[in-house]
Structure 1
Amino acid sequence: MLNEMVFRSEDVPAADRLDYWTERVGQTHAPVRMRSDHAHDFRATQRELDLGAVSVWPATFQQLVIQRTPKLIRQSDPELYHVCLVVGGTGIADWDGHDATYRPSDLHINDSSTPWEIRTGPDPVTVVGIEVPKALLPLPRAMAGRTPPRRVPSGEGIGALLAQFLTQLSADTTPYQPSDGPRLGTVLTDLVAALFAHTLEAGNTLPTETHQRTLILRIKHFIHEHLHDPCLSPGHIAAAHHISTSYLHRLFQGEEATVAAWIRLRRLDAARRDLTDPALHSTPIRAIAARWGFTRAADFTRAFRTAYGIPPKDYRHQALDFPKWTHR
């Protein structure tokens, strides 16, 4: 799993908990001031995931007022962009005489070089925060000095891709090795850059490499959402993304598999998970295969054996530890 650290305000005496949390946020993002109605016994938890130069930190905390003041900026500015996915709770942010209200599923953006104040609602807030050094974002000079919107909905487009990436990553880090951290950080940086450029209506100024990586992420998400469709094919995918089939194949030249192979691997993996699900033990294997786009049972059995070295029936029995008399 990824390297991560866990911090809990309960690890220190009650009277010190708000100060402890203020220090934690100062180390994660930038020095801030805090006050809370729960200062006598402040409750908060944070996980910090190591993605190299980029950090992701899921956190839950009680009501807060957080300030990043001009004085604090003069004292210390790590030159970071902060992007935060609001999972639960609400907040209001003020900066330069403007304000924005944040609700679950919103993306909140701020800048360590800009003064701001955030006031959360009375209920606990749950977020997944990102800290990206400004120097890492592949944004052109033409965008220098232009501030992205402070609130971006995550219901569609690049905002949805970023929110889904953060949600999946923070929910379970066990599939990843520590060495995957910097690579995931690169993907995250590209998504943040694409989001900024898109919201500033300057997407065409992004470097070609970033455009391509973002497009590949969109295509892979599209494939994942349409695995059940037996008509899913490179031609169908290319048409849905307004690109040629040949360009789609070129995009996947640097990936671990061709487009068709990537679809097949994802379908096989989805079917494999269903075969190990006790709740689906009575579902015929051919039905599971059809659910994931394999219209011919024989094709599914052949592909499954090639991928996992065992027929799907035997794999299911081994995974669920069925007694021998249940074999069909």
Structure 2
Amino acid sequence: MSRTLGPAEVTPRGEGPFDGRITTYRLAYLQVTTVEADAERVSRTQALTGGSPRALVAVAVQMSGTATFVQDGRRVEVGEGDLLVYDASRPYSFDRPRRFATRVFQVPRRVLGASDTAIRQATGSVVGTADGFGAILLPFLTNMASSADGHPPAVANRLAGMVVELFDTLIAEQAHDGREDADAPSHLVRRARDHIDRNLRDPDLYPEGVARTLGISVRYLHRLFEGEGTTVGQLIRQRRLEECGRELARRSRTAPAVSAVAQKWGFVSPAHFSRAFRTAYGVSPSEWRDLGAGRPGADLLTSSR
């Protein structure tokens, strides 16, 4: 246990012989460890934390049995099929009253984009897997663990990177679910903005699709943007208008058709586009086009991102 999951005291709970089995392997910087054992208590004390060579964050899958987990004064019950987030480098304890099986995924703290505050808030979070993000994460981890041996280094690194992205999302969602936190998970906001920029031409680009891509709820996506001074829908419309403005103001031998530019950047209705453009910039799209790239506002629009 100490070699694979970090220095800890392990005490069998039963009177008779103790039976247990540990298997572990690495996928680039990701370590996957499966533990099957009789009832036990595991305690990682403050005195033992100095024996860990590096900071690790873990997500455990309770494959069978149950556990009571304690860290940072937070006590939670982990049931079969649940996911548990914890900091593997700081003091914690597990109490497992009967035979169990668990699979632990450990990643170095340094590869995560989550803040220290978010990780501490997510510590001890039990995530159900019947629905929501847990229902997405569990089969991915299960399938990856069952077929992880023998991957070439390039594939192993990509898979490990995917796990880190998923863990970042899980930590951010748990850290903000019912808890106050002044530090917004900026990496998720950046990913949302990047996704919007890459898909501006898709007329079906809506907040629901952005949230689905990030693996978070629409409600949580809107909460991420509360500190950005805009909503997700407003950001999509603003970015589309900016791209349309640039294209319409660009000097060329033939003036682009307003309807064609609007359609190219995801506006389905030309009338809606014209109204939105006039509201944003004070002139119609055709007037903007006719004024050309020499108009001062065109320069401002080009540099507004």
Q: Could you state the TM-score of these two structures normalised by the residue count of structure 2?
A: 0.56
Partner amino acid, structure 1, of 2:36 = T
Instruction: Please say if 1:163 is aligned against 2:131.
Output: no
Match in the other structure for 2:61:
85
Any conservation in 1 of the 2:83–2:134 contact (CA below 8 Å)?
yes
User: Residues 44 and 180 from structure 1, CA distance in 2 versus in 1: closer, same or farther, beyond 3 angstroms?
Assistant: farther
Partner amino acid, structure 2, of 1:194 = T
Instruction: Please say if 1:139 is aligned against 2:114.
Output: yes
Aligned pair partner of 1:198 in 173, 178, 181: 173
CA RMSD of aligned residues (A): 3.6
User: Residues 175 and 209 from structure 1, CA distance in 2 versus in 1: closer, same or farther, beyond 3 angstroms?
Assistant: farther
Match in the other structure for 1:111:
87
Match in the other structure for 1:64:
40
Q: CA separation in 2, counterparts of 1:210 and 1:38?
A: 51
Instruction: Please say if 1:98 is aligned against 2:98.
Output: no
Matches within 5 A, 1:199-238: 199-201=174-176, 205-207=185-187, 211=191
Q: CA separation in 2, counterparts of 1:192 and 1:100?
A: 20
Any conservation in 1 of the 2:62–2:81 contact (CA below 8 Å)?
yes
User: Residues 235 and 143 from structure 1, CA distance in 2 versus in 1: closer, same or farther, beyond 3 angstroms?
Assistant: same
Q: CA separation in 2, counterparts of 1:34 and 1:141?
A: 28
Partner amino acid, structure 1, of 2:174 = T
Aligned pair partner of 1:241 in 203, 209, 213: 209
Q: CA separation in 2, counterparts of 1:146 and 1:184?
A: 26
Q: Across the two proteins, how many residue pairs are aligned to each other? A: 204
> What secondary structure, in the 3-state scheme, does the structure 1 residue paired with 2:169 have?
helix
Any conservation in 1 of the 2:76–2:124 contact (CA below 8 Å)?
no
User: Residues 174 and 82 from structure 1, CA distance in 2 versus in 1: closer, same or farther, beyond 3 angstroms?
Assistant: closer
Partner amino acid, structure 1, of 2:54 = P
Structure 1: gaps of 5 or more residues:
1-24, 216-233, 248-328
Q: CA separation in 1, counterparts of 2:136 and 2:206?
A: 18
Q: Greater CA radius of gyration, 1 or 2? A: 2
Partner amino acid, structure 1, of 2:114 = L
Instruction: Please say if 1:55 is aligned against 2:31.
Output: yes
Aligned pair partner of 2:157 in 182, 197, 211: 182
> What secondary structure, in the 3-state scheme, does the structure 2 residue paired with 1:200 have?
helix
Instruction: Please say if 1:150 is aligned against 2:151.
Output: no
Partner amino acid, structure 1, of 2:80 = P
Q: CA separation in 2, counterparts of 1:181 and 1:62?
A: 32
Q: CA separation in 2, counterparts of 1:141 and 1:111?
A: 10
User: Residues 206 and 191 from structure 1, CA distance in 2 versus in 1: closer, same or farther, beyond 3 angstroms?
Assistant: farther
> What secondary structure, in the 3-state scheme, does the structure 1 residue paired with 2:50 have?
helix
Match in the other structure for 1:324:
none
